[in-house]
Amino acid sequence: MFDLQKFQDAKFKENVEEIEVKALAPFFPEGEKPIIKVHALTGVTLAKVKEAIQLNRDIGALIEGLVSNNTTEKVDAIKETMGISENSPDDLVRRIAILQYGCIEPEMSQEVCVKLADVYPEQFYFLTNKILILTGEGKSLGE
């Protein structure tokens, strides 16, 4: 039987992994290993990731309303910079949020995650897969 008290008393530590991403080496200081540090998502951040798809749609509509007097090109440019589009696959929107919440060093904004997905898609998917694996493993039991 599950020991609730033992679970409640247990100490946990965050599941963190340093990942070498050689393709990103040109963007690190010379001689420094191209390391991206990621961690498992928590229940709160996982919920935010799950909400990202709807939020993506809501923000897109909000931007259109705010800049309705501007040209369609300006609206589209703002949305593209933020990675917001009705045409964006739900998996991409979800993974942008996963990387944004799961990356420790460097901290990545939504815009950086969007650009990484665009210019280095394999590395983007590799990093988000690692974050999902860590999340699935949960936190580690502490000493």
Which tens digits make up the pLDDT trace of 10-58? 999 999 999 999 999 999 999 999 999 999 999 999 999 988 877 776 6
Indicate the number of domains in the chain. 1
1 occurs within a structural domain: no
Examine the pLDDT at 87 and tell me if it is beyond 70.
no
Examine the pLDDT at 64 and tell me if it is beyond 70.
no
Helix (H), strand (E) counts: the chain: 6, 5
111 occurs within a structural domain: yes
5 occurs within a structural domain: no
123 occurs within a structural domain: yes
Mean pLDDT rounded to a whole number for the chain: 86
Residue with tokens 């983007």: 124
Closest listed residue to residue 36, CA positions, set 136, 114, 116: 116
6 occurs within a structural domain: no
112 occurs within a structural domain: yes
- In three-state secondary structure terms, 85 is coil
Domain that holds residue 116: 15-25+34-136
Examine the pLDDT at 65 and tell me if it is beyond 90.
no
- Both tokens of residue 46? 């996982």
93 occurs within a structural domain: yes
CA 27 to chain centre: 19
